[in-house]
A and B are shown apart, each in its own frame.
Chain A
Amino acid sequence: MHIFAMLFINGLAEGALIFLMAAGLSIILGLLGVVNFTHGTLFIWGGYVSIWVFGLSGNFFIALLAAIAAGILMGLIFERLFVRPVYGNVTAQILITLGLMTIFTDMVRLLWGPNPIPANRPDFIDGTWIWGSVIISQYRIFLIVIGVLVAIGINFLINRTRVGMIMRAGTQSPDMVQAMGINIKVYFSGVFAGGAALAALGGALYVPLVGSVWSGMGINNQILAFIVVILGGMGSFYGSAVGSIIIGLTVAMVSWFYPPLTVYSTVILLILVLSLKPEGLFGTAVRR
């Protein structure tokens, strides 16, 4: 039994990390109708920036804030210069974000070198708790807490605030919102930057978990996030939350019992869900 308790915690922690990426991806998809292939790149940048700032300042939270700031900045630049000209043209969006992915992934190799950089967990959450035979790393609990806080925060933002109301209205009909005298473009930029910030935060939190940062980690996690987004139903925030937990638990279980199958298990799960429910678990088919 204790193994399952441990795997459950690991799975939730994994899910929390995936959720940080998938939530941003999903909200950007829902409101802007943009599929953002730079998400994995923002994840890498978050990781590298946090390591760099952690090295300079020695403070983990400053490092996280720096990663978030980097994400917001890059998100704003991407949205303004590259994504805005191609709103409504899905193919061009996919192509252009793939181009940005290529440039900024290689930029990381240019700035920080091609080899993985080792990273340590901050001291205050590096320990483990032991209950009987169950060993739980504090860092994983920390990840779960952050994931839950972010989920509650986003849920509050979307469902309880005026900003969220405008976002929801914008998802339904951006032109109408614009006609009501609200500059929806500002919200578009904001949502894109917010999603980018979540991805960067995810990267910054992922690095101490696995112990190193390298430029290939973006694509793996991006694919997991994509799987979550399709699994949960495109553009659905609840879908991405539930999907993250499902995928996180699957990855944790499979990588414990039969590691070679880990990469395949998520795709097999996706295929199973899609064959039973083509629009995803909470899907309402994104329009536009």
Chain B
Amino acid sequence: MAALTNIISKNLTVKPVQALLLFLLLVILLIIPMISGMTTITLFSRIFILAIFGMSYDILRGFTGIINLGHALFFGGATYIAGILFNRVGPTLDVLLLAIITAFVLSAIIAYIMGQFAFRGTGFSGVIACAMITLAFGEIVRHTAETLRDYTQGADGLTFRIPEMFQDRFMMYYYALIFLIVMTIVLRQFVRSPTGRVLQAIRDNEQRARFLGYDTKKYKLIALVVAGMASASAGIMFALLTRFANTELLTVQSTLNALLYTIVGGTGTLYGAIIGTGFVQIAQNSLLELRGIHEIFSRWLIFFGAIYVLVVLYMPKGIIGAFYQLHASWQKRKKHG
């Protein structure tokens, strides 16, 4: 046990205490599906997958300081690619592989093109132009999905069959969990890499990073391509979980979901996205259960917006930030007796 935590902490540079806690969390997550009903299992699988979508946004917003309002196009686009290929070619594992490759290649290309236009400016007007141009890109993809009715069934949504391996909800939970763990490690290594450090330098002060000789536009492009591919991978998993794609996945609202996950949890932390996704999804589910009491509880978007505005105004560092703040003040008090 101690040896195991040691290995984990060495390779992933986490403290032994943290490794132990992570291990406990993993055990709990492994047991959950055995003791709970199908609703909880699906809810958790959803959280695991959407958390990657959230984390991919954190790479942009939290680590590079980019606001991409078309980010959903990578996620929803990958779901559509998987769905269309499963429908047209057949629900087999080979097709899944094909879908993954297609989604990765396409999202990398689109991210590159999008970045070429969105990252033209720097500073204040750069941020604004980036938000506006990415919004336009996202809406174009949504519009295209709505008009290509032959492939996407338009606004009705696309249902499809999936490979047999993924049909069992119980096993899907574990696949989603493994996916989350793998992607978390991958993205964590990315943000801790030299490239990731440069991204954080850009976030903190783009001008300074440029004066230090970094081609900031190139690094922003790298961030967008990585985030786009990560979110495409989440989109494929989401297709396997829901077996359904509709244009809702491509709307600004879908991008805002990812944004909300990261800001609720805490931006620039990566794990914040996981906590945020859990919080938002569970809040959404509990509110929907209150629907019987009053009709207002079925208007999730109003609550969504309210949480959003309140978090931005009063808790800009999110749950993790609040936790660190509490921790810091507690430590201070302990020190001063």
Q: Which of A91, A103, A271 contacts B309 (CB 8 A)?
A: A103
Complex-state Cα separation, A103 to B133, whole angstroms: 23
* Residue B273 lies at the interface, judged by CB distance under 8 Å to chain A: no
* Residue B286 lies at the interface, judged by CB distance under 8 Å to chain A: no
Complex-state Cα separation, A15 to B304, whole angstroms: 34
Q: Is the CB of B308 within 8 A of A99?
A: yes
* Residue B143 lies at the interface, judged by CB distance under 8 Å to chain A: yes
Report chain A residues within 8 Å CB of B129.
230, 234
Interface of B is mostly: helix
* Residue A169 lies at the interface, judged by CB distance under 8 Å to chain B: no
Q: Is the CB of A286 within 8 A of B252?
A: no
Q: Is the CB of B121 within 8 A of A85?
A: no
* Residue B125 lies at the interface, judged by CB distance under 8 Å to chain A: yes
Q: Is the CB of B127 within 8 A of A90?
A: yes
Report chain A residues within 8 Å CB of B117.
271, 274
Report chain A residues within 8 Å CB of B98.
none
Q: Is the CB of B313 within 8 A of A82?
A: yes
Complex-state Cα separation, A219 to B135, whole angstroms: 10
Report chain B residues within 8 Å CB of A3.
none
* Residue A229 lies at the interface, judged by CB distance under 8 Å to chain B: yes
* Interface size range of chain B in the complex: 35 or more
State the Cβ distance, A198 to closest chain B Cβ, in Å.
18
Assuming A102-B301, A103-B302, A264-B140, is B125 touching A286 (CB within 8 A)?
yes
Assuming A91-B65, A230-B133, is B305 touching A99 (CB within 8 A)?
yes
Interface of A is mostly: helix
A72-114 CB contacts (< 8 Å) to partner B:
82, 85-86, 90-92, 94-96, 98-107, 109-110
Q: Which of A29, A85, A100, A106 contacts B299 (CB 8 A)?
A: A106
Complex-state Cα separation, A267 to B140, whole angstroms: 9
Complex-state Cα separation, A100 to B301, whole angstroms: 10
Complex-state Cα separation, A223 to B65, whole angstroms: 22
State the Cβ distance, A24 to closest chain B Cβ, in Å.
15
* Residue A226 lies at the interface, judged by CB distance under 8 Å to chain B: yes
Q: Is the CB of B136 within 8 A of A226?
A: yes
Q: Is the CB of A92 within 8 A of B140?
A: no
Q: Write the B303-337 contact mask toward A (1 if CB under 8 angstroms, else 0).
A: 01110110011001000000000000000000000
Q: Is the CB of A223 within 8 A of B309?
A: no
Q: Is the CB of A99 within 8 A of B132?
A: no
Q: Write the B124-154 contact mask toward A (1 if CB under 8 angstroms, else 0).
A: 1101110111011101100100010000000
Q: Is the CB of A288 within 8 A of B136?
A: no
27 contacts between A and B (CB under 8 A): A29-B128, A82-B309, A86-B312, A86-B313, A92-B316, A96-B313, A98-B69, A98-B256, A100-B305, A102-B302, A102-B304, A102-B305, A103-B306, A103-B309, A106-B301, A106-B302, A110-B299, A219-B252, A223-B136, A226-B132, A227-B132, A267-B137, A267-B140, A270-B136, A278-B121, A286-B128, A288-B124
Which 8 residue pairs spanning A and B have beta carbons closest together?
Answer: A103-B305, A99-B308, A102-B305, A106-B301, A99-B309, A226-B132, A35-B128, A99-B305
Which chain A residues have a beta carbon within 8 Å of chain B's beta carbons?
Answer: 29, 33, 35, 82, 85-86, 90-92, 94-96, 98-107, 109-110, 219-220, 223, 226-227, 229-230, 234, 260, 263-264, 267, 270-271, 274, 278-279, 285-288
Q: A98-B308, A234-B125, A286-B128 are in contact. List 11 more A-B contacts (CB 8 A).
A: A29-B128, A85-B313, A90-B124, A91-B67, A99-B309, A223-B135, A226-B136, A229-B132, A234-B128, A285-B121, A287-B124
